[in-house]
Structure 1
Amino acid sequence: MFEVFLKKGKEKAVLQRHPWVFSGAIERVKGKPANGDIVKLLDAQSRFMAYGFYNDQSRVALRLLEWDETVAVDENWFRQKVATSVEGRGYVLRAETTNTCRLIFSEADYLPGLIVDKYADYLSVQILTSGIQNNIAVIIDELQRLLQPKGIYDKSDASSRAHEGLETANEVLAGSPPPELVYVKENGITYGINIAEGQKSGFYCDQRDNRHLLAAYVQDKKVLDCFSYTGGFTLNSLQQGAASVVSVDSSALAIETMRQNIELNGFDAAKHTAVQSDVNKQLRRFKEEGQTFDVIVLDPPKYAPSRSALDRASRAYKDLNRIAMLLLNKGGLLATFSCSGAMDIDNFKQVLAWAALDAGKQVQFINQFCQPEDHPVRSSFPEGEYLKGLLCRVY
């Protein structure tokens, strides 16, 4: 096995079992490991520290897997990690009203660079590191053994693959290709999921609990769902008796799928208006038209992919929330989210305080949103806590 040596003084994070080692912390490499090889990490005194995936093209040069030198990171190791992850989703998998969830969540499940989502009888996989790519055959075999899905689809089209020297992929890995729409249930609502052409792995199951929580506030209210995608918050609002829902998204495919989902569930289409538009432009248009709402949902894409982008992202979040606050009726509710791992909840609250000040509004934080149990946060990897949100009452 190839050996990688840390610089002196760079041991702390590894000893605390953080799974990332950046290229700048590496003193030297003994041999010439290929990208994705499993290597042995040693400290400056040649003492064992961990095993991990190596990649000299990535800023994260090592993604650590195992801290016990006596444990072999072999086929059985990967099978056990997959099985443990699936077992940990047992509560969600047994739910009668939900048959979609995240089965494997990358570093949080000790499989860095692997995302697996379950959509009814199909699995959607994202492979984001060369190490997982090298071991995907055994992972797929174990998923088939445990779950017997009709098909497993590779949705590895994330731009981050380029940092690992990987090309994008969109193909069937096992079984049958998914139909154009796979129908899933979440909290008793049926959704048509386009795995092959949809965003990310096909659906945002990380908002499952938050959609359900917010729906308790919308009865007889006028709701605006921004970045609505295929209608998660929209459908929950219609189910819980919202007076009307306006959904805004830039994707024509998402809008059409949302309309189909409304019809599929037998909700009153007359209460719903879909607008295909850039959200920021549309919010300003609503302001010019004098429109107001009782509840507004803001669930934007990731504005801060890294800490270096945090200042720019904070300005974008502030402006987005400021204009939304101006569209709320007095005492209205703003459910606002950030899926940027670099934006922690305290920073997010500060951004909203700035937005309120600029809008001339008073804001109360009355509830807090987070990612559900199938998106766990590993204690040694706080970066995995990416989704946060606040329910605000705006005066």
Structure 2
Amino acid sequence: MQTTIELKVKDSFIEDIRRGLPLINKDAIINEQALKEEGSIIDLVDSRRGFLARGYYGRQNKGIGWVLTNKQEAIDFSFFQQKILKAINKRKGFYQNEETTAFRLFNGEGDGIGGLTIDYFDRYYLINWYSDGIYSFKEQVIQVLDNLGDYKAIYEKKRFDTKGKYMEDDDFVKGERGEFPVIVKENGMRYAVYLNDGAMVGIFLDQRDVRKAIRDKYAKGKHVLNTFSYTGAFSIAAALGGADKTTSVDLAKRSKAKTIEQFSVNGLDFEQHDIRVMDVFDYFQYAKRHQLKFDMVVLDPPSFARSKKRTFSTAKDYPKLLMDTIEITAKNGIIVASTNNASFGMKKFKGFVEKAFKQMKTGYKIVEEYHLPADFQVNRQFPQGNYLKVLFIQVK
């Protein structure tokens, strides 16, 4: 039985709650000290103890929990079942698409439960828990998936500091342990995924539409540079789209073997492509020294990264990264500029682009822009949830 705690909301935040803001910000609460154990049910009330909304206590980023409902209803198995089934019904088209077997089934606050996401990988479920609070509802979520049936296994990732509290051996929850990699399809492209191997599984599902655009519209006959390439997913899309050559660059040592694997599962000869284990910033200097020019450059850095040589933050350093990219992009070439940093919106991101091209005294045209794909449902009252920003920029 979950404990219910009454939290008083400051007058200046009441309208936000009534409007449907899902994140419970600690600055909005008068009596935050009443919170004890994550997973407790929270009733948000005004100064006269008038009911505003119900949620749960779970610390995530700047929030202390998430609003779940504006009704005084039980947060029980039936509640989770209703939310998850509603999310599944919205994604029926994905289930019926034989060319795409990996997608997001449930997307946190966009589907009504902040702090929880569920991904589907060809009959494997992967649950992501973003706080100790939402993890306390594990039994209910698993039961919903059990009732749906017809899955091979359930895996999970605890994306919060467990402080040694949870001692499971790996990410396996139940079902039949997978034989990894599992090969999933995305618009007919094939990708190897590992649900049992740390935080990264091998592919970021939110870039599906971008990869399709690269393959179908931009790659043919091009030399494509894929920076911060991870497992080379963009390189695969480019190669399948008829790119003459791809160059994949990432600092992580395991990126080379992972990229070779992705080429191989698609029947592509990886030896026809260049795979570099190298700091991207060093590679830019190498490319300039050797006067290399690329027809397309994919620029999808992590929001924050630290190496032995430098620290990188998209919020601060993206314009400089773009300037380096412009120098090695051929005339009329395409830069695919991407960020998943939720701390700023598309307007500011376009400002970074304008600043970089102005500094380089180079003209440009934004030819396409992308946000999250359809399975990544977003809450309109929480723009930070629509974190993905991608611009296809033509260098004039």
Q: TM-score, normalised by structure 2?
A: 0.91
Cα shift at 1:168: 9.0
Per-residue CA deviations over 1:331-366 (Å, capped at 9, x if unaligned) read 111111011111211111110111112223111111
Tell me what 1:23 maps to: 26
Q: Which amino acid aligns with 1:209?
A: D
**Structure 1 match to 2:156:** 154
Contact 2:13 2:28 (C-alpha < 8 Å) held by counterparts? yes
- Asked if 2 retains the 8 angstrom alpha-carbon contact of 1:238 and 1:268, the reply is no
Partner of 2:309: none
Could you tell me which amino acid in structure 1 is paired with residue 180 of structure 2?
E
**Which residue number in structure 1 is paired with residue 192 of structure 2?**
192
1:295/1:337 Cα in 2 relative to 1: closer, same or farther (>3 Å)? same
Residues 92-131 of structure 1: per-residue CA shift (max 9 Å, x gap): 1211111000111111111111121111121222111233
Find the aligned partners of 1:318 and 1:143 in 2 and give their Cα distance.
44
Q: More deviation in 323-332 or 54-63?
A: 54-63
* 2:221 aligned partner: 220
The gaps in structure 1 that reach 5 residues or longer are: 305-310
1:182 alignment partner AA: V
**Pairwise CA RMSD of aligned residues?**
2.3
Match of 1:14 among 4, 9, 17: 17
Judged with a 3 Å threshold, the aligned counterparts in structure 2 of structure 1 residues 280 and 333 are, in CA distance, closer, same or farther, namely same
CA distance in 2, matches of 1:176, 1:252: 31
Contact 1:35 / 1:54 at 8 angstroms: preserved in 2?
yes
Contact 1:125/1:155, CA 8 A, preserved across alignment: yes
| Equivalent-residue separation in structure 2 for 1:15 and 1:40 (angstroms) | 13
Deviations 1:249-279 (A, max 9, x none): 2223232122122122112334311011121
**Pairs within 5 Å for 1:23-62:** 23-28=26-31, 33-55=36-58, 59-62=62-65
SS in 1 for 2:42: strand
Contact 1:323 1:359 in 2 (8 A): no
Matched residue, 1:88: 90
Q: Distance in 2 between matches of 1:341 and 1:164?
A: 26
Deviations 1:359-391 (A, max 9, x none): 231111111122100112211221111001111
Give deviations 1:72-108, integer Å, cap 9, x for gaps: 2221001111111122221112111110001111111
- Conserved in 1, the CA contact under 8 Å of 2:187 and 2:212? yes
C-alpha distance after superposition, 1:218-271 (max 9, x if no partner): 111111111222222111111111111111122232321221221221123343
Structure 2: stretches of 5+ with no match in the other structure: 306-311
Question: Would the aligned equivalents of 2:342 and 2:384 in 1 still touch at CA under 8 Å?
Answer: yes
Given the superposition, is the C-alpha separation of residues 239 and 55 from structure 1 closer, same or farther in structure 2, using an over 3 Å criterion?
A: closer
> Equivalent pairs: percent with the same residue?
27
Indicate conservation of the 8 Å contact 1:83/1:146, yes or no.
no
Would you say the 8 A contact 1:367–1:392 is kept in 2?
A: yes
Query: 1 CA distance for matches of 2:97 and 2:255?
Result: 27
Q: How many residues align?
A: 385
1:193-231 per-residue CA deviation (whole Å, 9 max, x = no partner) reads 122225445420111111111221111111111122222
Question: Does structure 2 conserve the Cα–Cα contact (< 8 Å) formed by 1:249 and 1:276?
Answer: yes
Cα distance in structure 1, aligned partners of 2:34 and 2:317 = 46
**Partner letter of residue 13 of structure 1?**
D
- Secondary structure (helix, strand or coil) at the match of 1:64 reads strand
The separation in 2 between residues aligned to 1:335 and 1:56, in whole angstroms, is 34
d(CA) in 1 for partners of 2:167 and 2:353?
Answer: 36
Change in CA separation of 1:148 and 1:167 when aligned onto 2, cut-off 3 Å:
same
Identify if the C-alpha distance between structure 1 residues 299 and 49 changes in structure 2 by more than 3 Å, giving closer, same or farther: same
